[in-house]
Structure formats: C-alpha cells, structure tokens
Chain A
Amino acid sequence: DAKTTQPPSMDCAEGRAANLPCNHSTISGNEYVYWYRQIHSQGPQYIIHGLKNNETNEMASLIITEDRKSSTLILPHATLRDTAVYYCIVNKKNAGNMLTFGGGTRLMVKP
C-alpha cells in the first residue's frame, strides 16, 4: 500500500473550517483514500473515502488533487467534539481492508 504523510498536529478555531492535508505521492490507480478519526482512545471512526472525485457526506468533504498525489479532508464548521487524531490511509480496492494506520494528525479545536 502507498504510504501517507500527514502533519503531526494542527489547531483550528471552533466554528471555522478545519483543513487536514495528506500526501500520498506513490498512490496507484486502484487505491482509495480513506479518512478515519480516533477520539480519545475510542475505536477509530470512519469519516469518508474516495478514489479520484471529490466526495462529501454529513461529516466532511474530501478533496483529491487531479494527479491523486495528495488530498485534503475538510470539516466545514469544526466543533470541540472534533478534537481527535485523524488518519489518512490509502488502500487497494480488493485488499480486504487491511488498512495500515500511520501516526495521523492530532487536531485540536480551540474555543
């Protein structure tokens, strides 16, 4: 699986958009980009995933660059409850979801 690079930590003001970047320059054509988050040692929670088109759901938006070498997770109106570690992962479609979690980005939402 392609490796990902994320900043170790970020701050965001409550109510503002949180933009979390991820580099995956060695991603291959059949690999999806997934985002998960982990709040205070709970089990990781799925957020969103995409292949090459931008995606949006009730939690977030995912912007993937045209060359697919990087992506950005956007939380449009961050709240204190969004404080968590966010993991960006790439995975082949038929790899059995054997996801490899790196260090992630620790997002701190501040009042």
Chain B
Amino acid sequence: NAGVTQTPKFQVLKTGQSMTLQCAQDMNHEYMSWYRQDPGMGLRLIHYSVGAGITDQGEVPNGYNVSRSTTEDFPLRLLSAAPSQTSVYFCASSDWDRGNSPLHFGNGTRLTVT
C-alpha cells in the first residue's frame, strides 16, 4: 500500500499566488488532517476532517481552506500565499472508528513563498 501520498514534494510560490497541496490515502481512513512544521518547531494542526463532507479548524487555520469530497482525498488550499506560510506541510490520516489508532503521515510538501 502507498499509505499517505503528498504532492508536490517541493513548491516555490510568489506572494499572492494560490495553490493546492494534494493529499491522498489508500487505507480507507475516515480521519485526515494537515499540519505545518516550521524550522526547529513541532507540528501545528491546521485543519482536520472526520469524514467526507466534514471539516474543522485546528490550531492555525488562517490563510488555508480545505474540503473533503471523498474519503481518499483532503486537499489544502492557499488562496493568497504569504511569506509567513513558508513551511513544511504534512498530511496525516487515521482510522477514526478506532479512537486511539495512530496517525499515518505523508512525507511532506516543502513550500517556499517569496
């Protein structure tokens, strides 16, 4: 199984540009989430979803939109990129029905906004 797949691996944007970070999982997990990680820091939760059609905000949601139209996909949209959004973005999924199941992470998208 591929697990959690994130694309692209690297991206450079100019301030004001928009883009979508893709995340797909093939484990039929109901729960998916997006984190960002800044240099030397832990991960901060941006948005999460407990199933198709359901999304909610995490710790740092401003500047990001999400939607969940299918179980497999959970894209993260930056509508107008800012240099403060330069970071590494991780997508994760888990089996929601098993409340204590661990998160499975993708390998990240490294975004630079100039």
Contacts and interface: CB of A to CB of B under 8 A. Distances in A.
Interface string B30-50: 010101000001111100101
Contacts, number: 62
A96 B88 contact: no
A100 B37 CA distance: 12
Give the secondary structure class of A's interface: loop
A51 B99 CA distance: 13
B74 to A, nearest CB: 14
A101 B102 contact: no
A102 B37 CA distance: 11
Interface residues of A, number: 25
A4 to B, nearest CB: 11
Nearest to A95: B99
B67 to A, nearest CB: 18
A21 interface: no
A103 B42 CA distance: 5
Listed residue (B4, B42, B58, B104) with the most chain A CB atoms within 10 angstroms of its CB: B42
Given A41-B88, A42-B107, A43-B106, A96 B42 contact: no
Listed residue (B45, B48, B90, B102) with the most chain A CB atoms within 10 angstroms of its CB: B102
B94 interface: yes
Listed residue (A42, A49, A98) with the most chain B CB atoms within 10 angstroms of its CB: A98
Interface of B: 4, 31, 33, 35, 41-45, 48, 50, 58-59, 88, 90, 92, 94, 96, 99-108
